[in-house]
Amino acid sequence: MTRRVFLGMAAVMALGQSVFAASKRGGGTVQLSAEQKADLLFMYQEEKVARDVYIVLGQKYPTAQTFANIQLSEQQHMDAVENMCLKYGVDISGVNETKIGEFVLPELQNLYNTLVAQGSVSLIEGLKVGVAIEEKDIADLTEAAEGMPADVVKVFNNLKEGSYNHLAAFNNALASA
């Protein structure tokens, strides 16, 4: 092994150790795997599904304040996940938040279409859709948090707390409907 190669290897090892040390101290940005990036995009779009469904059902049932109140919270959820997407380099360029009911992920486009159709049957069905959305969101946030960096886990845990509150609001609205 030549001296130049040895010194090059030593420099790479030292750089690796300093990057590792910085990540242990909280410096630097952790790189997410392709799967983790896909999970962030999914959660961003799932929060949009909730917001968009609540906008549509809120317009259909204007006396049901639950939809109007929670759609505003869902926008905050979207913003929080969007910030994580931007921080970790998740491509969200295809997402247009202003287009209600349009999604880049076919699975979530289908979910949105199904939920709006079900919720449009009656107010009771609309409230049941709210319950289903929040239960799905809680489960998906729990699963997506596994193995994520601490800041993403913190955001997801905060969103779950919000979803538990939304779930309670929809259950209370169902009980009094």
pLDDT band at 17 (very low <50, low <70, confident <90, very high): very low
pLDDT confidence of residue 30: 82
Distances (CA, A) of 63 to 40, 118, 123, 147: 34, 18, 10, 42
One domain, residues 85 and 112: yes
One domain, residues 170 and 100: yes
One domain, residues 73 and 95: yes
Domain span at 10: 1-29
One domain, residues 16 and 50: no
3-state secondary structure of 148: coil
One domain, residues 7 and 70: no
Residue 10 reports pLDDT greater than 90 = no
Distances (CA, A) of 44 to 77, 80, 116, 149, 175: 8, 9, 19, 16, 30
What amino acid is encoded at 108 in this protein? L
One domain, residues 16 and 91: no
Which CATH number belongs to the domain containing residue 44 in this structure? 1.20.1260.10
One domain, residues 131 and 159: yes
One domain, residues 135 and 89: yes
CA dist 126 and 51 (Å) reads 13
Q: Backbone phi, then psi, for 97, in 5-degree steps?
A: -65, -25
The number of domains in the chain is 2
pTM: 0.82
One domain, residues 14 and 82: no
CA dist 122 and 176 (Å) reads 15
How many angstroms separate the most distant Cα atoms in the chain? 80
One domain, residues 84 and 15: no
One domain, residues 79 and 19: no
Instruction: Give mean pLDDT, residues 44-67.
Output: 96
One domain, residues 23 and 45: no
Contact of 46 with 85, CB cutoff 8 Å = no
Residue 13 reports pLDDT greater than 90 = no
pLDDT band at 28 (very low <50, low <70, confident <90, very high): low
